[in-house]
Structure 1
Amino acid sequence: MTTSSPEAGHRLALSPLPFVLLMVLVALNLRPALSSLAPLLARIQQETGLSAMAIGTLTTLPVLCLGLFAPLAPWLSRRLGAEMTLSLALAVLTTGLLLRGLATPTWLLAGTLLVGAAIGIAGTLLPALVKRELPAGADLVTGVYTMALCLGGALGAGLSIPLAGTLGGWPVSLASWSTLALLALLAWTLLMPRGPAVASSPSERGGTLALLRHPLAWQVMLYMGTQSSLAYIVFGWLPTLLVARGYAESEAGWLMGMSVMVQLVSALAAPWLARLGRDQRPALLIVLACTAGGLWLLLLGPSAWRWAGVVMLGLGQGGSFSLALTLIVLRSADSRLAGRLSGLAQGGGYSLAALGPLGVGVMLELKLDLAAITLVLLAIVALAAGLALLAGRDRRLETNAGGALVTRIAP
């Protein structure tokens, strides 16, 4: 055991490796609950009789919950401590996953609501915990747990159907992910850093509202929202768009699945790339260019280049998400500010991101062609690039001697 930074007072901290392993285990649980549902939707609708609107609610509700519940994380952390708040989130996640296995429409919706709320809170806590425990390497550790997030998403999407066949149906397949969540809960409860919650400075003025007065906070939030919008569009609609392009359903599924797997590489590598310069703008523009190129190749480019498009899209989206989380820790001076900025960026960002899949659904309903839809997606990439040029500068939020929140050039 080692003594933590002065910011945490007398709190006992884990040594770096066990802490990173705990973060990876927790992060592995924050995507399967979302990605395991989509492949089973046809079976769920057939067996439960849910309407198309109810099925749409099942896919939209978790993303909305990510945004709605993320701002609660800093509030709960101040009252319960970040450690206990994360334990609570993992307990709610385990409960929600079990409830979805009850297979009735009411419990399916209730479980999905709990799952989205738990992931919104837990995902918001991770940047602040990493900033507190490993401040010098917070950006690189962020890349590690982002890779775990992507791996969890890939496992959820890839194993959902096989688990349903092996375990006897979609309800057990959905509920089986509670085993991994319970394992993370037990490991975190037994091994988490222990001690009192970090109190706010008496002289510090304002909270989340103070953040909203700083353009840098808005820039980070809006970048998170635009890149997340693209991610959920790809996750929800890419197979459908590829089928409209002329690919078979099976090949469309493989193309998306391989794109998710490629994300693991850039999720880990992007923070290292970001360290090559004084700010993160070059790294952000590189990954966004990959995203744009991948979308164009898959949706409009020559079919012979489709696998190159898969690689580019995966590298771009894995790197974009990793850097979005990295910006939260780099744009804040300490773990308290990282927690507040994380709540704002992920709360507002995921609420904005929920509009992306909805917009594509509307465009398909209006029978817009693939070229028009691709143009809209590339426009979102361009907007994200503009925000990256602002959010990626070497600035950070910190509290001055008078307790006021200020934006300064990062040291």
Structure 2
Amino acid sequence: MTNREGVKKIHDDYYQQKGRRTARFGLAYIGLLLIAVNLRVSFVSVGPVLTNISSDLELSSTAAGFLSGLPLIAFAVFSPMAPAFASRLGLDRALWTSLLILSLGIVLRSLTVSGFIWVGTATIGLAIAFLNVLVPSLVKRDFPGRVSRVTGSYTATQAAFAAIGAAVVVPVAQTSPGGWRLALGIWVGLSLLAMGVLMPWLRRTSEDMAQNTALTDSPYKSPWASMLGWQVTIFMGLQSIAFYVLMAWLPTLEQSLGVPAKVAGIHLSAFLLVNVFASLAAGVILHRGPNQQFISALSGILTFVTFLGLALAPDLMLLWVFLGALGCGSLIVIALSMFSLRTASHPQAASLSGMAQSVGYALGAAGPVMFGGLHDVSGGWSLPLLVTAGIMAILAVTGWFAGRDRVIGARNLR
């Protein structure tokens, strides 16, 4: 072989390998976004038709509230089980199986069989709990150099489709003969689409599987025994309180101040829309600089100002809605990114994700209950808003510590 032929072969091999890497990145990215599409829409879409469900099934207000909160309870209960599930099946198979469980849950929820709405909703919660935990592990494995940007993209995608689902479900329920059952059942199409696209993931090469097994079997420090793990967990939990309190109570708060229900709904839609752009922006900004301390603390301060402003100057409602959306949209990206940024391997990332999301969603579910209880006790909005503002101040401080450039189990000397 001449020197020219040798150079040409090296050149061709390089571009073939580059092409394969680019194609693999593209397929992995598309698969990730398809998983993200399914992370919220199937349970967020229940809220707009909850009145129809309650009327059809003769549910009390308490039962209806429990039905809407059941996925959050499932998130808290099942999230710690996801790492062991992925360890047994492998990450790719665990993700695909979770989508299969999600599809089953959506179908069961829509069947006209007594009690199946509860079984289906719990099954949906189980599936999404596993997906929520395992997606950050997938990002850690397949996009180690693009954690924040990829996390921002998939977070924005799930928020966008949640907003679409909330807007679409009512017209479908009103115009279709299947009513609310069909309106909730159509989302099985998204999970089946994701399963079809991700099917090649189940046929990974033996070399890839061997590498994955070796990494999974390697020891790592448990985040449950790490101060850094608890800082990330508390950060995840407190930021979830901000989001779920605003989602649950903002329309009611506005209407009590004289804002028409339709306008309050528009404000909530605007909140979700700004969330999408805030998530994308946070994904771009997060990787710049030596750590995430400043953006973590600043985002927490935005939510602090939001609740304080709602308590002291409710006439500036749109300003607080905008600041709250900026804070919540960036906080969730930061929290999810930390599962990868603060761990040494994707199994450890799954373990931290399971821990943080279990505690986080428990706090997220308790937040609106606490807020409503304080309102009942005080008879007004000032006390719950000020207490939540105090919690957001703790969030900002926690973000400063969790945002340091540290890895669980490493000798962090910086």
- Mapped to 2, the partners of 1:395 and 1:134 lie a distance apart of 19
2:352 counterpart (338, 341, 347): 341
Deviation digits for residues 158-200 of structure 1 (CA, Å, limit 9, x no counterpart):
2221221232311111111111111111111235672427225
Residue-by-residue CA offset, 1:105-126 (whole Å, 9 max, x unaligned): 6111111101111000011111
Q: 1:362 to 1:69 in 2, by over 3 A?
A: same
Residues 271-297 of structure 1: CA distance to partner in whole angstroms, max 9, x if unpaired?
322233211111112222222333444
Q: Which residue in the other structure is 1:72 paired with?
A: 81
SS at the partner of 1:247? coil
> Which residue identity is paired with 1:188?
L
- Ranges in structure 1 where 5+ consecutive residues have no aligned partner: 5-11, 398-404
Contact 2:304/2:389 (8 A) holds in 1? yes
One of 98, 119, 132 as aligned partner of 1:123: 132
TM-score of the two chains, using structure 1 as the length reference: 0.89
1:291-330 counterparts in 2 under 5 A? 291-298=303-310, 300-303=312-315, 305-330=316-341
Counterpart in 1 of 2:181?
171
Q: Of 33, 41, 45, which aligns to 1:24?
A: 33
Once the two structures are superposed, the pairs formed by residues 4-403 of structure 1 within 5 Å of their partners are 15-103=24-112, 106-168=115-177, 169-190=179-200, 194-195=204-205, 196=209, 198-199=212-213, 204-205=218-219, 210-298=222-310, 300-303=312-315, 305-397=316-408
* Distance of aligned partners of 1:217 and 1:344 in 2 relative to their CA distance in 1, 3 Å threshold: same
Letter in 2 for 1:294: T
Separation in 2, partners of 1:202, 1:117: 23
Q: Is the 8 A contact 2:300 2:396 kept in 1?
A: yes
What is the distance in 1 between the residues matched to 2:112 and 2:410? Answer: 50
Q: String of CA shifts for 1:178-229, please: whole Å, max 9, x gaps.
A: 111111111112356724272256985566xx32221000000111011012
Q: Which amino acid is the alignment partner of residue 258 of structure 1? A: A
Residue identity in the other structure for 2:41: P
Structure 1 residue 2: deviation in Å?
8.9
Distance 1:216 1:358, change over 3 A: same
> Which 5+ residue runs of structure 2 have no aligned equivalent?
1-14
Q: What's the CA shift for 1:245? A: 2.3
- The structure with more helix, counted as a fraction of residues: 2
Identity %: 31
Q: Provide TM-score, normalisation by structure 2.
A: 0.88
Cα offset, 1:393, TM superposition? 0.7
Distance in 2 of aligned mates of 1:103 and 1:202? 43
Checking the alignment, whether the CA contact within 8 Å between 1:242 and 1:299 is kept in structure 2 is: no
The one-letter code matched in structure 1 to 2:213 is: A
Q: Could you say what secondary structure the match of 1:186 adopts?
A: helix
Structure 2: distance between partners of 1:101 and 1:242:
33
Could you give the per-residue CA deviations for residues 225-284 of structure 1, whole angstroms, max 9, x where no partner exists? 110122112222221222222212111111111101111111111132223321111111
